[in-house]
Amino acid sequence: MPLLPIGQSELYYEDQGEGPAIVLAHGIGGNHASWFQQVPVFAQSYRVVTFDHRGFGRSSDVEGAGRSAFVSDLLALLDRLGIEQAVLVGQSMGGGTCIAFAAGHPDRVRALVLAASLHAIAEDGPVAALMDAARAATDDLDQLDRVLDSAFRDANPVQASLYSALASFNRTDRHSLAGAWPATLAPEAVGGGKPVLFLAGTRDPLFPIEAIRQVQARVPGSFLVEVDAGHSGFFEHATEFNDSVLSFLAACGIRGRRRSAHSNAAGYVAPTQN
């Protein structure tokens, strides 16, 4: 079992495929296994690294450092694997890890994908008001109501049960997560000039789409893809999520070993002109 010793703790990771490196950083309700719909697709053309943040999945957090150690943990992991530069894909909490890492180590990052996340970004003005309202409205919701859209759960009860089962392996949840991000960045500083893709669910109760639109408009060199989903577009609409990431990488000139790993889903075929 691949474990990286860090202090008294251990960080679990998996490393698959060949090509430019993509590192997937999970959210607070997930762990490395949550990316099961992304890894086999991306690994067709890229080197794909997944890991458990400390306190999640198979990783331990003996020191109780939580978020305070997420950036240094990721740096240690890249060093362990000999990865000089990587595309960082962060879901929710993992987006905060990726933003904070890019701020501290811009030379190790090729591009950022921020999925359903404004973590580690300073909130001001209308965005602060939108986020305060969202936190108040969702504080008492149970985990599945927070992270999976109700229409998806009703139509896909087996997948909803799987999501819950994956989360059950975590020692840490949103109530017990320790530490804090090293700093919060103004939107204008996010990415440090590297390409940034925001992937957002139009029905996300935790990060309202209007808040993400307003932040993205202030991030230099950034793009926004909106998915008809709740907080977990990577899980609810994996094909659209995967193709969006792959299209973004192609637009950035970060091409994998194969010409394309796209699904060629109907939604990505140009409409017939009448």
Distance of alpha carbon 255 from alpha carbon 274, whole angstroms: 34
Main-chain dihedrals φ then ψ at residue 89, nearest 5 degrees: -115, 115
Query: Is residue 70 included in any domain, yes or no?
Result: yes
Q: Residues 6 or more apart from 156 whose CB is under 8 A from it?
A: none
pLDDT score for 172: 93
Q: 265 pLDDT band (50/70/90 cuts)?
A: low
Query: What is the model's pLDDT at position 260?
Result: 67
Residue 151 forms part of a structural domain = yes
Domain with 107 in it: what CATH number?
3.40.50.1820
Our count of domains for the chain comes to 1
Predicted local distance difference test score (pLDDT) of residue 269: 43
What average pLDDT does range 118-144 have in this prediction? 95
For 82, the domain range is: 3-257
Residue 264 lies in a domain: no
262 belongs to a structural domain:
no
Q: Is residue 45 part of a domain?
A: yes
Mean pLDDT of 255-265: 72
Residue 189: inside a domain: yes
Residue 108: pLDDT above 90? yes
CB 47 within 8 A of CB 18: yes
What's the mean per-residue pLDDT of the chain? 94
pLDDT bucket at 170, cuts 50 / 70 / 90: very high
